């Protein structure tokens, strides 16, 4: 990896940024900051419209409704339009209060009470109440909405009854609007629950507004009313843009101020290359670096880039229900495929050395991470000799070409082409199967893939968030795209979720990951880094390790 692209570990990055944040807080008073904001001297300047060409550089999102959006791109809009109970600080990584000003649990850790702050309003001026959270969560679980994110609420008592339509009332949530408290009863002790509710699926929605809709699944096609630093200025325009404007009555958020930008225009591009060409032509303020151009682009934008390590993994997964590649009988075939793939060639060729070849599913920097959990799915280097021997032991010949599925327009085809060449080298035929992004994930959820591209960026810094959604039996039909089901792994994850001691819980999660990698349900290829560059007029550009951008902290210095 070139020195110009090397990155500190996430732990070192967090320590450094936290130190800088604490130093800045100690050296500058709020009054001084306000003075700088007013004058624009060396600090924030209010005003201007940011034209963003990076977030939707690969096409329309599946969803932007917080109750429906699971991908980073759509969730970026959700996080700007809606505030939840908690949030991870984008710089320090620390879990911080948002709409909930405090929280506490009982001694067992299976009941959590959130004290909501006064003065938080929706964009229509209505106060945000505990009952808006309860309604929003019941909405996510409602079978009529059919949200793929409903599993995030599984720990809450009574969630299963709402999902199957037995009731519309979420038994485990008590909303007291008078005392401004939200009390949540869980089916098991869950120490990470305050972190989990930072996910945008737990955002409040204005009950009176949403309840009156004829079809709540189409709310995102209207002007959604949220409670975040930005509000929608007009409906989402397919293939064109999503426009937001500053909410001037915003309560202040993590850093106690309204957004500096007047507006954000998220342009929707057809593919990465055309989006970046538009950025190069000066038609926008931010751009997403296309695969294969990192070295060249970062040489041109050595200061104005966000390319640090993040908590995300890029992988190809097997459909474990597929008769050709899935199941116990085809384990040796999956092992051969995993060892045949040249992960380093993908990193060097497609990403110009900017990423790290993955040696496991969970990335470094995640609490509980441990290297060396697998020497096959997690192998850092390919082993063609061993791959051929495993293929011979399996049966020696693949009758029909294996489908390499991936979403179009996002720069994944070069990766699939390298994998295709790698497999051909050991005698496995394959075909490239690119599909439109708008339908890709729904098709993979339905088990329509065979060996397919997948990626995961953690929604919050907890080991659980990369295992339960992707590999637990209860998540099949949602983000468990590989259709993986193993009772032993389920038990380990369930036990880990109920273990209050973080070290003990992470040991169980590691054991579960080791089993998953041993079954070669996925082949982790590389760990993500940021891929954004921006114009010199864009100031204070911050991307979190979870790959969200703090647009409410950006200002334009033109």
Q: Read off the pLDDT of residues 235-273 as tens digits, 9 standing for 90 and up.
A: 999 999 999 999 999 999 999 999 999 999 999 999 999
Asked if the model's pLDDT at residue 141 lies above 80, the reply is yes
Label residues 151-190 b or e (16+ Cβ within 10 Å = b). bbbbbbbbbebbbeeeeeebebbebeeeebbbbbbbbebb
Q: Read off the pLDDT of residues 25-63 as tens digits, 9 standing for 90 and up.
A: 333 344 444 443 433 346 899 999 999 999 999 999 999
360 Cβ contact partners less than 8 Å away, ≥ 6 residues apart: 369, 371, 372, 373, 374, 378, 513, 517, 524
> What pLDDT score was predicted for residue 42?
66
Question: What's the number of CA atoms in the CB half-sphere (13 Å) around residue 257?
Answer: 19
188 Cβ contact partners less than 8 Å away, ≥ 6 residues apart: 110, 155, 494, 497, 498
Band (pLDDT 50/70/90 cuts) for residue 540 is very high
> What pLDDT score was predicted for residue 24?
34
Relative orientation angle of helices 343-350 and 413-425, to the nearest 10 degrees: 150
Q: Which percentage of the chain shows pLDDT scores above 90?
A: 84
Asked if the model's pLDDT at residue 149 lies above 70, the reply is yes
Q: Which percentage of the chain shows pLDDT scores above 70?
A: 92
For the chain, list the domains and their CATH numbers.
49-267+533-556 (3.40.190.10), 309-529 (3.10.105.10)
Q: How many C-beta neighbours within 10 Å does residue 139 have? A: 23
| Mean per-residue pLDDT, 405-422 | 95
Place of tokens 């890029």: 314
d(CA 550, CA 273): 24
Band (pLDDT 50/70/90 cuts) for residue 291 is confident
**pTM for the model:** 0.81
Q: How far is CA 34 from the centre of its chain?
A: 33
d(CA 444, CA 415): 18
Q: Read off the pLDDT of residues 474-531 as tens digits, 9 standing for 90 and up.
A: 999 989 999 999 999 999 999 999 898 889 999 999 999 999 999 999 999 999 999 9
CB 407, CB 454: distance < 8 Å: no
Backbone angles phi, psi at 148, to 5 degrees: -70, -10
d(CA 175, CA 99): 14
CB 70, CB 148: distance < 8 Å: yes
Q: Read off the pLDDT of residues 99-136 as tens digits, 9 standing for 90 and up.
A: 999 999 999 999 999 999 999 999 999 999 999 999 99
Asked if the model's pLDDT at residue 336 lies above 60, the reply is yes
> What pLDDT score was predicted for residue 158?
98
Q: Read off the pLDDT of residues 315-331 as tens digits, 9 standing for 90 and up.
A: 999 999 999 999 999 99
> What pLDDT score was predicted for residue 92?
81
Q: What is the mean pLDDT of the chain?
A: 91
Asked if the model's pLDDT at residue 184 lies above 90, the reply is yes
> What pLDDT score was predicted for residue 191?
85
């Amino acid at each position: 990896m070139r020195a110009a692209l090397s990155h500190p570990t996430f732990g070192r990055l967090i320590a450094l940024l936290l130190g800088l944040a604490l130093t800045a807080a100690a050296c500058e008073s709020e009054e001084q900051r306000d003075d700088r904001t007013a004058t624009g001297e060396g600090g924030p300047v209010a005003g201007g419209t940011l034209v963003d060409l990076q977030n939707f550089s690969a096409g329309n999102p599946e969803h932007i409704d917080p109750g429906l959006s699971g991908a980073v791109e759509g969730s970026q809009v959700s996080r700007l339009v809606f505030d939840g109970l908690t949030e991870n600080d984008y710089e320090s990584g620390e879990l911080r209060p948002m709409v909930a000003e405090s929280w506490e649990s009982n001694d067992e850790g299976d009941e959590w009470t959130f004290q909501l702050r006064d003065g938080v309003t929706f964009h229509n001026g209505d106060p945000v109440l505990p009952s808006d959270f309860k309604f929003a969560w019941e909405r996510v679980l409602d079978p009529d909405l059919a949200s793929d994110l409903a599993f995030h609420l599984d720990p809450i008592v009574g969630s299963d009854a709402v999902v199957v339509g037995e009731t519309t009332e979420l038994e485990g949530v008590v909303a007291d609007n008078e005392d401004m408290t939200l009390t949540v009863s869980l089916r098991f002790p869950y120490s990470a629950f305050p972190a989990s509710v930072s996910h945008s699926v737990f955002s409040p929605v204005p009950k009176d507004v949403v309840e009156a809709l004829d079809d709540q699944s189409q709310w995102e096609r209207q002007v959604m009313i949220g409670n975040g630093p930005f509000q929608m200025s007009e409906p989402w325009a397919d293939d064109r843009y999503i426009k937001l404007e500053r909410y001037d009555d915003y309560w202040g958020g993590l850093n106690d101020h309204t957004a500096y930008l007047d507006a954000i225009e998220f342009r929707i591009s057809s593919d990465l290359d055309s989006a970046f060409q538009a950025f190069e032509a000066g038609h926008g303020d931010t751009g997403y670096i296309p695969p294969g151009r990192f070295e060249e682009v970062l040489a041109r934008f050595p200061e104005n880039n966000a390319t640090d390590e993040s908590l995300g993994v890029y992988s190809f997964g097997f459909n474990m229900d597929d008769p050709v590649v899935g199941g116990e009988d085809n384990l040796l075939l999956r092992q051969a495929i995993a060892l045949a793939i040249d992960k380093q060639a993908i990193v060097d060729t497609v990403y110009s050395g900017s990423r790290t070849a993955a040696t496991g599913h969970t990335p470094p920097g995640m609490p509980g991470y441990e290297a060396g959990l697998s020497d096959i799915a997690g192998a850092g280097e390919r082993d063609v000799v061993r791959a051929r021997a495993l293929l011979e032991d399996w049966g020696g010949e693949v009758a029909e070409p294996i489908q390499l599925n991936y979403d179009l327009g996002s720069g994944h085809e070069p990766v699939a082409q390298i994998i295709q060449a790698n497999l051909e080298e050991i005698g496995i035929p394959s075909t490239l199967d690119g599909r439109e992004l708008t339908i890709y994930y729904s098709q993979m959820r339905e088990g329509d893939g065979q060996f397919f591209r997948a990626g995961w960026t953690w929604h919050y810094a907890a080991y659980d968030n990369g295992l339960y959604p992707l590999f637990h039996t209860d998540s099949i039909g949602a983000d468990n795209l590989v259709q993986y089901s193993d009772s032993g792994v389920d038990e380990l994850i369930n036990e880990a979720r109920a273990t209050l001691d973080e070290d003990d819980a992470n040991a169980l999660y590691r054991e579960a990951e080791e089993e998953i990698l041993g079954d070669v349900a996925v082949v982790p290829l590389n760990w993500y880094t940021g891929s954004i560059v921006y114009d010199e007029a864009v100031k204070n550009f911050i991307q979190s390790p979870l790959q969200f951008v703090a647009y409410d902290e950006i200002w334009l210095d033109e």
